[in-house]
Structure 1
């Protein structure tokens, strides 16, 4: 399992959909997760310390956990199945660690509010992680074999082609994410 940090929230040029770009904390591999505009805004507002007059859904969820005596410990992107990422929110309550199933986008929005780490299991990073250069373009396979994830089958590549198309269509002039 590897810790990730939020690198940016971007807008894809082809479909104008938003994506959260996560980067391995100790490496240069990225994980891109499509999110709805409302969740992208919820994440961005919190990262940029934008105050809103009333609690948003993710603020409410965190308040409920805390008022019921729990505390969010971490978020884990734990699976990728049929081009869909899965995540869990780890909550500590009464000495017990609970794992709550969640969409990754909601889990990330809660993680930024609770100031807890975001992780991805190695298998997810091996299957969907990408390397980007300074211009946001996917890096060609020029690293040593030891630095690269295991080979991916043709079937898996076809399933993940949407991510490759997305990365190719990013508007990198609109980075504006947190420093």
Structure 2
């Protein structure tokens, strides 16, 4: 398992979608994951310590877990499943300590991350997922990085560079 931290939330200028960018601790490898607007807002609100008048969904989940005497050990981005549209879907698990043991709960990565930032739990990713989906910025925009996962073609990298340039950090 590889530990990550939330690097940024990016906003697409062309669609309402958001991108959470996770960074591997101690390196310059990044894991970008598309997430919904509500989940992006929930993560941003907590990271920026913005006050809310009533608990948000992830605050409620945190309270329920705590009231039941459990705590979040960590979250794990456990898999990347290919889908028919040619993209992939990330899968995650929330690992709870229950006193006498632990249990894992299936989750969308966005919800797991929103919960993790609320409880201060570490965020992990399986090495195979990081190898498949991470990016490593090139020292130069023109030079592709080939030491992340499987080699990528210049065409793949230029599409990603174009995409990243079309995003704004929120």
Confirm or deny a common fold (TM above 0.5).
yes
1:24 aligned partner: 24
Asked if the contact 2:16/2:37 (under 8 Å) is kept, the reply is: no
Contact 2:31 2:135 in 1 (8 A): yes
- Give the equivalent residue in structure 2 for 1:168: 162
Map of 1:80 onto structure 2: 80
More displaced stretch, 126-135 vs 25-34: 126-135
Q: What secondary structure, in the 3-state scheme, does the structure 2 residue paired with 1:53 have? A: coil
Residue 167 (structure 1) shift: 5.1
Cα deviation 1:2-31 (Å, max 9, x = unaligned): 100111000123324101000101211110
Structure 2 residue ranges without an equivalent (≥5): 83-87
Partner deviation per Cα, 1:112-157 (whole Å, 9 max, x = no partner): 000011000000000001112479x696135xxxx543457x9xxx
Q: What do you get for the CA RMSD once the two structures are aligned? A: 2.6
Q: Which runs of 5+ in 1 are unaligned?
A: 155-160
SS at match of 1:14: coil
What residue in structure 2 maps to residue 42 of structure 1?
A: 42
The Cα shift of 1:80 comes to 0.2
Equivalent residue pairs, number: 163
1:131 is matched with 136
2:79/2:90 contact within 8 Å kept: yes
Aligned partners of 1:138 and 1:167 also within 8 Å: no
User: How far 1:173 sits from its partner (Å)?
Assistant: 7.8
TM-score, with length taken from structure 2: 0.85
Distance in 1 between residues matched to 2:31 and 2:167, nearest whole Å: 20
